[in-house]
Amino acid sequence: MSALVQVAVPSPLYGVFDYLWTQSQAIVPGVRVAVPFGRRTVTGIIVGEIAHTDVPVEKLKPVYRVFDAEPVLPGDLMRLLEWASRYYHHPLGEVLSSALPALLRRGKPAELATQEFFRSLAGCDVQSLPARALLQRQLLRYLVDRAGQPVAAAALRAISTSWRTPVKSLMERGWVERVTSVQLPDNTAKAAAPDLLPEQASAVAAIQKSLGSFQGFLLKGVTGSGKTEVYLRCIQEAQQRGFQSLIMVPEISLTPQLMTRFEQRLSGCLVSLHSALNDSERLQSWLFAANGLADVVIGTRSSVLAPLPRLGLIIVDEEHDGSLKQQDGFRYHARDFALMRARACQCPIVLGTATPSFESLNSVRAGRLTELPLTRRAGDAVPPTLALMDIRRRKLVEGMSDRLIDAMRAHLDEQGQVLVFINRRGFAPTLLCNDCGAAADCRRCDAHMTVHVRHNRLRCHHCGSERPIPPGCESCGSTQLDRVGFGTERITDALTEQFPDTPIARIDRDSTRRKGALEAQLQRAVTGEARILVGTQMLAKGHHFPKLTLVCILDADRGLFGTDFRSLEHMGQLIVQVAGRAGRESRAGTVMIQTRNPDNPMLQTLVHEGYEAFARIAMDERKTAELPPFSFMALVRAEAADARQAHAFLQQVVQSMEQHRVGSMEILGPAPAPMERLGGRFRAQLLLQSDKRSTLNHNLAQLCTHIDHLPGSRKCRWSIDVDPVDLY
Ligand code: ADP
Ligand code: ZN
Ligand code: ZN
C-alpha cells in the first residue's frame, strides 16, 4: 500500500484533502503538488503524511506531480498560517495560497532568475580576427579591456543590438565564456544619519535592546516627530546582528518618498513587495525574502505572509490604517498577523503611528504593548494650530466660506502652500432633478452616481459602472438638473476661478491613474511648484511637503454621523493625519476645519486637546456600548441575486448557531447590509458578538463544520469576517 498525504487545496471548502502518494521522493510538508480536484487539476500544498484516511480506496486519487524539492512555505510559517486559518475561519488551502506569489500559485518554478554575463578568456587575440569581422573585434576588445571581468549582456547589447552572433563565434573559438548568476540587489547608503532627539534615542534603545526576543511596542509619535528615523536605526542594528527586517507600509506606491528615504539610508539587499510590481518582479522579490537573501523587505499588507528565515524585526507603519485589513477572500488583519508572527519567531514588533487604533491603545492599557512616545516634531518644526470654522448661515463659494478663501489668499501672498482636503473625487456626488426630485442612481447599487465633468460621465464609486451625463432627468426629462455637493474636480475649478494665476495640483485616484502621474503630481507638490493642492485621503498618508503652511478640511462633519461604530475613530485619525501635513519645516502650519457642528464635543476635544484626549473619550463610549476593542465581533455575510436567498441562508445559520451555541454570544440579524444592493447583488449580514474571543471562535468553528451543508449555502455567496473593520 502506498503512502497517504494531506493536501491543502485552494477551494472555498473547509478542510484538507487526502491523496495517494505514488511519487518516488519523500513527502515534505510545504511543498507544492498538482492534484486532481473535481474536474480540474490544481496546485495544492502538502500539509503532511497521514496513516489513515476515511476516503474509500476506490475514490482516492494520486498526487500527479511534485513541483518543489524544498518547501516553498517553511514549517514555522505553515504553523502560523494554520493558526490564521482557524482564527479567521478561512479554508487552509486558500490561506496558504494567499501567502504565495501568483506565479507560484500557477506552478511556476520557485527559482531566482539568473542574468547572463560574458568575459574574455586567456589566449584570446583581437589582432588575429579578420579585419572585416568588425563587430567581433569591437566586442572582444570591450571584454579584454575589462580584464576578464564578467560583463552584463545589457552592456554588449548597448554596443550593438546584433551582438549575439559575433559573441557566439567568439565563444566557439574558446575566447569568450558565458556565465550566469543571480544578481542580488545591493544598495549603498548615500546619506548620513542625523543625531537622534532624546525621545527618539530612548525609543531606539528600547527596541534595539529587545532584538532577539518578543516584545510589542507602540511608537506613538506625532506627525513629523521622526518615526522613520527610529525605524531606520533599528533596522540597521538588526542588520548588524544578522536579522532580516520586515517593514509594512499602507501603500508604497502612494508614498514614493518613503522608499527613497530607505534607499538613501540603508545598505545591503533591499527589496519591496507591493501591488505595483508585475508577477515576475513580485516573484523575484519574494524569493529574495524567502531565501534569506534580502536584509530588508518593505511591503504592503501581504508581505507579512512571506517566508523570512532570518526575521528579527517587524515594523508596521501607520498601524491604524484600514488598508492593513484584507477585505475579501482571506480576511486577515496584517497588524494582528504580524503580532502573532513576532511572538512566534521571538522578535520585537513596532507599531508606529500618530493616531493609534483603539485596539492598540487598549493593548497598551492591558500591558501587551509598550508605549514609546515621540511628543515633539523633529528639527525646528512646531505642531500646527487647529481651528474650527463655523459655516452655518455663512455664504459659501462652492462649499468654501469667504473666511477660508481669505486665509488661503493670505498664505499664498506670503509664499506659503495650501492643501485643500475633500474626501470625494469627481465633480459632485449627486445629480438631482429640480422638477421631480429624482437623483441619478446606479442601476446596480443602492447609491447615487457621482458626476465626473472632466470625462462627461456619471460613475458609481461602488461598482464602477458608468454612463454619459444625461442631457435631461432620467425620470421626467426635465433639463433642470442640479449637481449637488462637492468633489475634488469642482473644488479645483472653483479655486482656479479664485486664484487664476496660481498653479494647482489635483491629487486623487482619477488624476493619478496614468502611470507616473502620481509621482509627477507629488513632485510638483514637494518642490512647491504647485501652490495649491486639492486632494482626497491619498494626500493624508505620510507625505512631507516642506512648503505647506495651510491645510483646509472642507467636510469634517461626515465622520460624525457615519453608520459604522468606527466612523468617529476614522474621522479623528483622518483629520489629525491631514493636519499633520502642515508646517513640517521651519514655517508654522495652520489647519482650518469647516464644520456645521462647531459645538460637537468630540470635534472640540480633538481640535483643542488632541488625538489622545479624543481617543480616551471615544473609547469610553465604546466600552459603555460594549463594542470592540471591548468585545469581539464577527460578521457572516451572504449575497445573492435574490435578496430572499441571502436572508434565508443567514436564517439557517442563526438556527444552527442557536442549536449549538456555547457560552454567551449575541446573534444580531440577519439584516440587510447598510448598502443592500451592490453590483446588482443583494447583501445581508449577521453580526456575532461576545465579550470573549474564545467563545466567538468556538461557535464559529462549530458553524464551519456544517455551514457547507446548510441547504441555502449553494444559492448564495457567503463569507465569514472575524474582527471586521467595515461593517458592510
Ligand atoms: P514621521 O514619520 O514621524 O511623520 P519623519 O520621520 O518623516 O516623521 O520625520 C520628519 C522630518 O524630520 C523628516 O524630514 C526627517 O528627515 C526629520 N528628522 C527626523 N529625525 C530627525 C533628527 N533626529 N534630527 C533632524 N531631523 C530629523
Ligand atoms: Zn426629473
Ligand atoms: Zn454601482
How many domains does the structure of the chain reveal? 5
Measured from the Cα of 544, ligand 1's closest atom is: 7
| H-run or E-run covering 451 | strand 450-452
Tell me how long the chain is: 728
End residue of a domain, out of 622, 655, 673: 622
Q: Are residues 138 and 71 in the same domain?
A: no
The verdict on residue 75 lying in a domain is: yes
The residue whose C-alpha atom lies closest to atom 23 belonging to ligand 1 is 196
Looking at residue 303, what DSSP letter applies?
G
Residue of 204, 229, 234, 382 to test ligand 1 pocket, by largest number of atoms within 8 Å of CB: 229
Question: Residue 353 in contact with residue 322, Cβ under 8 Å?
Answer: no
CA distance 304 to 290: 12
Q: pLDDT tens across 96-148, in order? A: 999 999 999 999 999 998 888 999 988 888 888 888 888 999 999 999 998 87
* Confidence check: pLDDT of 1 > 80: no
C-alpha span between 224 and 382 (Å, rounded): 9
Whole-number average pLDDT of the chain: 93
Q: Residues 16, 156: one domain?
A: no
Does residue 439 lie in a domain region?
no
Same domain, 647 and 693: yes
| 3-class DSSP state of 558 | helix
Q: Is residue 463 part of a domain?
A: no
The CATH number assigned to the domain holding 569 equals: 3.40.50.300
Same domain, 611 and 686: no
Q: Residue 295: pLDDT above 90?
A: yes
The answer, yes or no, to whether any atom of ligand 1 lies below 6 A from the CB of 255, is no
Strands in 532-535's sheet, in edge-to-edge order, are 385-390, 590-595, 548-553, 417-421, 532-535, 504-507
Of the given ranges (177-186, 425-434, 667-676), which has the lowest mean pLDDT? 177-186
Going by pLDDT thresholds of 50, 70 and 90, the confidence category of residue 673 is: very high
Nearest to 185 by CA among 266, 104, 306, 278: 266
High-pLDDT (> 70) share of the chain, %: 99
Q: Which of 105, 136, 170 is the last residue of a domain?
A: 105
Same domain, 253 and 139: no
Mean pLDDT value across residues 592-598: 94
The verdict on 147 and 64 lying in the same domain is no
Cell for 607? 481640535
Please count the CA atoms within 13 angstroms of the CA of 456 that sit on its side-chain side: 3
Confidence band for 728, pLDDT divided at 50, 70 and 90: low
User: What's residue 642's pLDDT?
Assistant: 94
* Ligand showing the shortest atom-to-Cα distance for residue 226: 1
Q: Confidence class of residue 374 from pLDDT cuts 50, 70 and 90?
A: very high
Residue 197 Cβ inside 6 Å of ligand 1? The answer reads yes
Question: Ligand 1 pocket, 226 CB below 6 A?
Answer: yes
Q: What is the CATH number of the domain that holds 645?
A: 3.30.70.600
Are 392 and 266 part of one and the same domain?
no
Mean pLDDT of 22-28: 93
CA of 396 to the centre of ligand 2 (A): 26
Report angle CA 269, 271, 276 to the nearest 5 degrees. Answer: 160
Same domain, 286 and 256: yes
Q: Pick the more confident residue, 541 or 291.
A: 291
Whole-prediction pTM value? 0.91
* 430: phi then psi, degrees, rounded to nearest 5: -145, 145
72's CB contacts (< 8 A; 6+ apart) are 30, 31, 32, 45, 100, 104, 110, 290, 307
Ligand 1: which of 228, 258, 543, 584 to mutate, judged by most atoms within 8 Å of the beta carbon?
228
- As a whole number of angstroms, the distance between CA 433 and CA 481 comes to 5
Tell me the pLDDT band of 362, cut-offs 50, 70 and 90. Answer: very high
- Residue 181's pLDDT is 84
Q: Is the confidence at residue 541, as pLDDT, over 80?
A: no
Cell representation of residue 494? 472653483
> pLDDT-based confidence at 15, cuts 50/70/90?
confident
Confidence of residue 697 (pLDDT cuts 50, 70, 90): very high
Distance CA 628, CA 361 (A): 12
Ligand nearest to the CA of residue 466, numbered in listed order:
3
CATH code where residue 54 lies: 3.40.1440.60
**Mean pLDDT along residues 378-401:** 89
| The pLDDT of residue 390 is above 80 | yes
User: Residues 6 or more apart from 423 whose CB is under 8 A from it?
Assistant: 536, 537, 555, 558, 574
Report, as an integer, the average pLDDT of 287-298: 96
pLDDT of residue 187: 93
In a domain, 190, yes or no: no
Ligand 2 centroid from CA 681, angstroms: 26
Residue nearest to atom 10 of ligand 1 (CA): 224
Q: How far is the CA of 448 from the centre of ligand 3 (A)?
A: 8
Helices (H), 312-467: 334-344, 358-365, 402-413
**Which residues contact residue 507 at a Cβ distance below 8 angstroms, ignoring those fewer than 6 apart?**
518, 521, 522, 525, 533, 534, 535, 536, 538, 539
Domain extent at residue 698: 632-722
Determine the 3-state secondary structure of 90 from DSSP: coil
Q: Is residue 436 part of a domain?
A: no
Question: Is 544 near ligand 1, meaning CB less than 6 Å away?
Answer: yes
What distances in angstroms separate CA 13 from CA 87, 215, 360, one per listed residue? 16, 36, 33
Q: Tens digits of per-residue pLDDT, 456-472?
A: 999 999 999 999 999 99
Helix (H, G, I), strand (E, B) or coil at 136: helix
pLDDT at 457: 96
For residue 405, what pLDDT is reported?
A: 96
Mean pLDDT of 526-546: 90
3-state secondary structure 631-688: CEEEEEEEEECCHHHHHHHHHHHHHHHHHHCCCCCEEEEEEEEEEEEECCEEEEEEEE
CA distance readout (Å), 340 to 42, 293, 294, 346: 30, 23, 22, 10
pLDDT, tens digit, for every residue of 476-510?
A: 999 999 999 999 999 999 999 999 999 999 999 99
Per-residue pLDDT, averaged over 330-350, amounts to 97
Atom of ligand 1 minimally distant from the CA of 227: 3
Distance in Å, CA 442 to ligand 2 centroid? 16
For the record, the C-alpha cell of 630 comes out as 471591548
Of 401-415, 491-505, 571-585, least confident by mean pLDDT is: 571-585
Average pLDDT over residues 225-235: 96
Q: Which of 372, 333, 318, 324 is nearest to 210 (CA)?
A: 372
- Report if residue 479 sits inside a domain: no
Q: Give residues whose Cβ lies within 5 Å of ion ligand 2.
A: 433, 435-436, 438, 473, 475-476, 478
Residue 243: all three cell numbers together: 536579522
**How confident is the model at residue 671, as a pLDDT?**
94
- 613 and 645 together in one domain: no
From the CB of 379, is ligand 1 less than 6 Å away? yes
Cis peptide upstream of residue 670 (ω within 30 degrees of 0): yes
Residue 466 in any domain: the answer is: no
Q: What count of other Cβ atoms lies within 10 Å of the Cβ of residue 505? A: 21
The answer, yes or no, to whether any atom of ligand 1 lies below 6 A from the CB of 204, is no
Q: What is the mean pLDDT of residues 584-605?
A: 91
Q: Let me know whether 217 and 297 are in one domain.
A: yes
pLDDT above 80: residue 563: no
Task: Please say whether the beta carbons of 368 and 339 come within 8 A.
Answer: no
Indicate whether 401 and 545 sit together in one domain.
Answer: yes
Distance 30 CA to ligand 2 centre (A): 61
**Which of 128, 151, 181 is a domain's end point?**
181
CA distance 605 to 584: 23
Residue 253 has a pLDDT of 66
Residue 143 lies in a domain: yes
Residues 596 and 680 in one domain: no
**Cβ(229) to ligand 1 under 6 A?**
yes
Give helix 643-660 / helix 693-704 axis angle, nearest 10°. Answer: 110
| 193 alpha carbon, closest ligand | 1
Q: Which atom of ligand 1 is nearest to the CA of 197?
A: 23
Is the backbone peptide bond immediately before 629 cis, with ω within 30 degrees of 0? Answer: yes
